Amino acid sequence: MTIPVQITFRHMESSDAVETRVRELADHLGVFSDRIVSCRVVVDSPHRHHHQGKVFNVKVQLTMPGEDVVVDMERPDRDGHEDVYVVIRDAFDAAKRQVQQRMSLLRNEVKLREKLS
Protein backbone atom coordinates (compact mmCIF):
# COMPACT_ATOMS: atom_id res chain seq x y z
CA MET A 1 0.00 0.00 0.00
CA THR A 2 1.39 3.40 -0.96
CA ILE A 3 0.91 5.97 1.77
CA PRO A 4 0.91 9.69 0.87
CA VAL A 5 4.01 11.19 2.50
CA GLN A 6 4.77 14.84 3.21
CA ILE A 7 8.42 15.51 4.13
CA THR A 8 9.66 18.77 5.60
CA PHE A 9 13.30 19.68 6.22
CA ARG A 10 14.07 22.29 8.87
CA HIS A 11 17.41 23.97 9.50
CA MET A 12 19.05 21.82 6.82
CA GLU A 13 19.16 21.29 3.07
CA SER A 14 16.70 18.84 1.58
CA SER A 15 18.15 15.54 0.45
CA ASP A 16 16.83 13.19 -2.23
CA ALA A 17 18.47 10.22 -0.50
CA VAL A 18 16.80 11.05 2.83
CA GLU A 19 13.45 11.58 1.08
CA THR A 20 13.76 8.21 -0.67
CA ARG A 21 14.53 6.44 2.61
CA VAL A 22 11.61 8.11 4.40
CA ARG A 23 9.23 7.10 1.60
CA GLU A 24 10.49 3.49 1.70
CA LEU A 25 9.95 3.27 5.46
CA ALA A 26 6.53 4.92 5.25
CA ASP A 27 5.41 2.49 2.54
CA HIS A 28 6.63 -0.40 4.68
CA LEU A 29 4.25 0.71 7.46
CA GLY A 30 1.41 -0.14 5.08
CA VAL A 31 2.25 -3.81 5.65
CA PHE A 32 1.14 -3.46 9.27
CA SER A 33 -2.05 -1.48 8.70
CA ASP A 34 -4.27 -0.53 5.79
CA ARG A 35 -5.79 2.20 7.97
CA ILE A 36 -2.93 4.69 7.58
CA VAL A 37 -4.33 7.67 5.64
CA SER A 38 -1.20 9.82 5.44
CA CYS A 39 2.28 10.30 6.85
CA ARG A 40 3.99 13.58 7.74
CA VAL A 41 7.69 13.60 8.53
CA VAL A 42 9.79 16.52 9.77
CA VAL A 43 13.57 16.12 9.67
CA ASP A 44 15.21 18.83 11.75
CA SER A 45 18.83 19.71 12.48
CA PRO A 46 18.57 22.36 15.18
CA HIS A 47 21.61 24.47 15.95
CA ARG A 48 23.07 23.60 19.34
CA HIS A 49 26.09 25.49 20.63
CA HIS A 50 26.90 23.03 23.40
CA HIS A 51 27.02 19.92 21.20
CA GLN A 52 29.79 18.80 18.88
CA GLY A 53 28.63 17.64 15.44
CA LYS A 54 25.16 17.63 13.95
CA VAL A 55 22.12 16.42 15.85
CA PHE A 56 18.98 15.37 14.03
CA ASN A 57 15.42 15.23 15.30
CA VAL A 58 12.73 13.37 13.39
CA LYS A 59 8.99 13.61 13.93
CA VAL A 60 6.64 11.09 12.28
CA GLN A 61 2.88 11.64 12.33
CA LEU A 62 0.61 8.97 10.90
CA THR A 63 -2.99 9.95 10.29
CA MET A 64 -5.29 7.06 11.15
CA PRO A 65 -8.98 6.75 12.02
CA GLY A 66 -9.41 7.56 15.67
CA GLU A 67 -6.18 8.89 17.07
CA ASP A 68 -3.01 9.74 15.11
CA VAL A 69 0.27 7.97 15.78
CA VAL A 70 2.97 10.51 16.66
CA VAL A 71 6.64 9.79 17.26
CA ASP A 72 9.03 12.60 18.14
CA MET A 73 12.59 11.32 18.14
CA GLU A 74 14.42 14.05 20.08
CA ARG A 75 17.25 12.65 22.12
CA PRO A 76 20.41 14.62 21.40
CA ASP A 77 22.29 12.88 24.20
CA ARG A 78 22.36 9.62 22.25
CA ASP A 79 25.40 9.13 20.01
CA GLY A 80 23.45 7.61 17.11
CA HIS A 81 21.49 10.78 16.59
CA GLU A 82 24.37 12.36 14.78
CA ASP A 83 23.43 10.20 11.76
CA VAL A 84 20.16 11.24 10.13
CA TYR A 85 19.51 7.71 8.83
CA VAL A 86 19.77 6.23 12.33
CA VAL A 87 17.29 8.77 13.68
CA ILE A 88 14.88 8.11 10.81
CA ARG A 89 15.15 4.35 11.37
CA ASP A 90 14.55 4.72 15.11
CA ALA A 91 11.54 7.00 14.57
CA PHE A 92 9.92 4.63 12.06
CA ASP A 93 10.64 1.63 14.30
CA ALA A 94 8.80 3.39 17.13
CA ALA A 95 5.92 4.28 14.78
CA LYS A 96 5.75 0.66 13.60
CA ARG A 97 5.47 -0.58 17.19
CA GLN A 98 2.64 1.87 17.88
CA VAL A 99 0.78 0.83 14.71
CA GLN A 100 1.23 -2.86 15.59
CA GLN A 101 -0.10 -2.25 19.11
CA ARG A 102 -3.11 -0.37 17.78
CA MET A 103 -3.91 -3.08 15.23
CA SER A 104 -3.53 -5.76 17.89
CA LEU A 105 -5.98 -3.92 20.14
CA LEU A 106 -8.44 -3.56 17.26
CA ARG A 107 -8.22 -7.29 16.48
CA ASN A 108 -8.78 -8.20 20.13
CA GLU A 109 -11.72 -5.81 20.32
CA VAL A 110 -13.32 -7.50 17.31
CA LYS A 111 -12.80 -10.92 18.89
CA LEU A 112 -14.40 -9.75 22.13
CA ARG A 113 -17.44 -8.46 20.23
CA GLU A 114 -17.77 -11.77 18.38
CA LYS A 115 -17.71 -13.66 21.69
CA LEU A 116 -20.38 -11.37 23.15
CA SER A 117 -22.76 -11.90 20.21
pLDDT at residue number 66: 85
Question: Residue 1: pLDDT band by 50, 70, 90 thresholds?
Answer: low
Alpha carbon distance 26, 20 (integer Å) = 10
pLDDT of residue 2: 78
Contacts of 47 (CB under 8 A, 6+ apart): 11
Q: What domains can be seen in the chain, in order of their start residue?
A: 5-116 (3.30.160.100)
To the question of pTM greater than 0.75 for the whole model, the response is: yes
E strands, 14-63, in order: 38-44, 57-63
